[in-house]
Structure 1
Amino acid sequence: MEGLQIAACVFSFISLLLLIIAMASNYWIINLNITHSGLWQICDAITCLSYGMEVRDYIHATRAFLFMGMIAGAVSFFGLCASFYHSHIGSVSIKPLAMSASFAAGVCSLIAMATFTGMYSQYIVLGRWYGWSFGLGWASFPLFLITGGLAWK
């Protein structure tokens, strides 16, 4: 039983780390190896500029759901780590809370990534493709679900 708990903590940490890196990095979209952009900035070989006020709605939605997923993922990680020492915080059992938070983080990540993929695919043209940050965002989704499954036991 403790092996599953350790595995759940490791998966929770990895999925949270992938989600944070995906949110913070600027390699969601790569344009002919000249420019690359993320959720917050667009960069060329020398400088990066913030989007400012002209951000499309799907970027705002992606940011919001990834942020909610990050909060739920942090609750899951810290809850799973705390469950080694305590089984309850007040009247709340820690393991079901962490498990639910992990599933919630997975669902929020799925919604965010599906929104970005669905909306940005309209703008994909020759010479543009998804970058490694986009891949990390998608990778965090199943890892959160695996964490929830491991925490279930």
Structure 2
Amino acid sequence: MQPLQIATVACACISLLLLLIALCSNNWVANSMSHSGLWKSCVNIGLIYTCVAHGMNVKDYYHATRTFMFFAMFAGAVSCIGLCAPIFGLQLGSISKAKTAAIASFVAALCVMIAMAVFTGETGGKASYGWSFGVGWATFPLFLITGGLAFHMNAA
């Protein structure tokens, strides 16, 4: 396995893992008494946090953010599978696995950018962002780097 291939697979796996962490965690907006994510809100009562699921009764920008994060998750998974396929000897037909992975990574980056921009635009200036929000934004350049590495790997 070549160093470029190792770097590309590692970047794709890290990008997808961070995206899943951001999507599932509930520290998108936080302050000293509470924190909330895309799925639930938690309030500090004494020494214990009490959490309540958002359900479907949330503002539309939550649905838009969730949807685009899920699209990014699927595109990121396609990228990881395409890049890991040669390692495990999987055959995906005559398609270029590196080119497919690169395109999927760029699609994932676009979906993350849309999701994060929608959330930022709707909460900007009115919120104190938590670590999950930062992790969500960090996946955007990581997917771009993965796509660039995969295209470079395809050209090499």
Report if TM-score (shorter chain) is over 0.5.
Answer: yes
Deviation by residue 1:71-125 (Cα, 9 ceiling, x = unmatched):
1001101110113355851232211111110111011000000010011116x1x
Deviation sequence 1:20-66 (CA, Å, 0-9, x none): 000100100013x1010000000012211011332100010000000
| Maintained 8 Å contact 1:87/1:93 | no
* Contact 1:87/1:94 (<8 A) preserved: no
The answer as to 2:135 corresponding to 1:136 is yes
Match of 1:35 in 2: 34
**Comparing 105-114 with 92-101, which one deviates more in the overlay?**
92-101
- Report % sequence identity: 55
SS of residue in 2 equivalent to 1:48: strand
| Structure 1 counterpart of 2:16 | 16
Residue in 2 aligned with 1:51?
54
Q: Which amino acid aligns with 2:98?
A: K
Does 1:148 pair with 2:151?
no
Contact 2:85 2:91 in 1 (8 A): no
SS at match of 2:55: coil
Would you say 1:96 and 2:99 are equivalent positions?
Answer: yes
Matched residue type, 2:56: M
> Which secondary structure does the structure 1 equivalent of 2:128 belong to?
strand
Kept after mapping to 1: 8 A contact 2:28/2:129: yes
1:112 aligns with 2:109: no
- Rounded to whole Å, the distance in 2 between the matches of 1:85 and 1:15 is 20
Q: Is the 8 A contact 1:69 1:108 kept in 2?
A: yes
CA contact (8 A) 2:35 2:42 kept: yes
Which runs of 5 or more structure 2 residues have no equivalent in the other structure?
Answer: none
Give the counterpart letter for 1:37 in structure 2: S
CA RMSD across the alignment: 1.6
AA matched with 1:135 = G
Contact kept in structure 1, 2:26 and 2:39, CA below 8 Å: yes
Gaps of 5+ in 1: none
Q: Which runs of 4+ in 1 moved over 2 A?
A: 83-88
Preserved contact between residue 79 and residue 102 of structure 2 (Cα < 8 Å): yes
Aligned-partner SS, 2:87 = coil
Equivalents in 1 of 2:60, 2:92: separation in Å? 39
Residues in 2 aligned to 1:88 and 1:2: alpha-carbon distance in whole angstroms: 19
CA distance in 1, matches of 2:17, 2:133: 14
> Is 1:75–2:78 an aligned residue pair?
yes
Q: TM-score, normalised by structure 1?
A: 0.91
Residue 66 of structure 2 corresponds to residue 63 of structure 1: yes
The alignment of Structure 1 onto Structure 2 pairs a total of residues equal to 148
